Structure 1
Amino acid sequence: MLILGARTLHGYPSRILVDRLRAALPLIDAPSLPVVVSGDGEAAAMADWLAEHGVDPGQVVREPYARSTNENLENAHALLPGVERWTVVTSDFHVLRTRLWAWHLGIPVRVVGAPTQRRDLVVAALRECVALPHSALRIGWRRLLARASRSD
């Protein structure tokens, strides 16, 4: 499992991040399976929150460098390359972009979207209206460059 990071406030998970962590809890059913928490400046707060809510700290793998959706996926996959299919927990508004990046990177995923509280939804939706097309353009550009380098 991979739980994508989100903003923290003074070292503690924001509401959106807590929503993601809460959605992940019932999915952490096998104590032997690793749970990757990913995000620059967020992984430690996520690991602490999970430990406070009964998850064995030895089960949690921290990936503290990712700064974007694609880096979360790439870095987690590099940490545990043997995972055949990831369960990725993110926010409901972020599911499409997560699936898009996973498809582009060739990483098989099942994406679980945590419900977003109404008070956070407007800002999150507005941000996603910019971030989703931006990601789509980045993916298109990467694919175009890859195609061009193959034809050389």
Structure 2
Amino acid sequence: MTKAPIVVLGARVIDGRPSRMLEARLSAALGLFHDDPGRPVVVSGFGEADVMADWLAAHGVPRGAITLERAARSTNENLENSRALFPSAARLIVVTNGFHVLRTKVWAWHLGIPVTVVAAETPASSRVRNYAREVVALPHSVARVAWRRLVRGLGGR
């Protein structure tokens, strides 16, 4: 069985560099990697994965330990695509910011993907904005999950 990969969810990139929020996620993942250097690291996000991989490599993670997932544009796609890369792993260790933990867990539950979610610190300058955004984003995701389950229960796809 494959060791649980560390999956870093993408976030904003500014001028080819990780935003402070993304850098917090990468720093948390770096700490997890140093605790167990045998774990693979997945950087997931459309337009962000390469920047994330470069940051991790510049901070000592060997390129061979980094897997790029470049297609995901949402939390559920991050999880689905990362799981597809490591189907034999018992679980994914998912790194995101604290405000995003619950939504990540909702999607993982819906998709049937076992996860341990690690909360990176959210930079103080963006806490209010991001927690306020979750007031809308979390119920929206819960409604999408409920709708998908309802449709599936009615014989839809």
Q: TM-score, normalised by structure 2?
A: 0.92
Structure 1 residue 32: Cα displacement: 3.0
Q: Find the counterpart in structure 1 of residue 116 from structure 2.
A: 110
Q: CA deviation at 1:25?
A: 1.1
Q: Does 2:56 align with 1:54?
A: no
Aligned to 2:24: 19
Q: Aligned residue for 2:3?
A: none
Q: Which residue is equivalent to 2:14?
A: 9
Whether the aligned pair in 2 keeps the contact of 1:31 and 1:56 (CA below 8 Å) is no
- What is the aligned partner in structure 1 of residue 89 from structure 2? 83
Match of 1:147 in 2: 153
Q: Distance in 1 between matches of 2:136 and 2:18?
A: 23
Superposed displacement of residue 62, structure 1: 0.3
Between the aligned residues of both structures, percent identity stands at 58
Offset of 1:24 from its aligned partner? Answer: 1.2
Letter in 2 for 1:19: A
- Please identify, of 114-123 and 138-147, the stretch whose mean Cα deviation from structure 2 is larger: 114-123
Measured in 2, the distance between the counterparts of 1:114 and 1:31 equals 19
Shift of 1:72: 0.2
Gaps of 5+ in 1: none
Find runs of 4+ consecutive structure 1 residues off by over 4 angstroms: none
2:127 corresponds in structure 1 to 121
Amino acid at match of 2:72: A
Give, in angstroms, the shift of residue 33 of structure 1: 2.1
Cα distance, 1:50 vs structure 2: 0.2
CA distance in structure 2 between the aligned counterparts of 1:67 and 1:81, rounded to whole angstroms: 20
Say what the alpha-carbon RMSD is for the aligned residues.
1.0
Equivalent pairs, count? 150
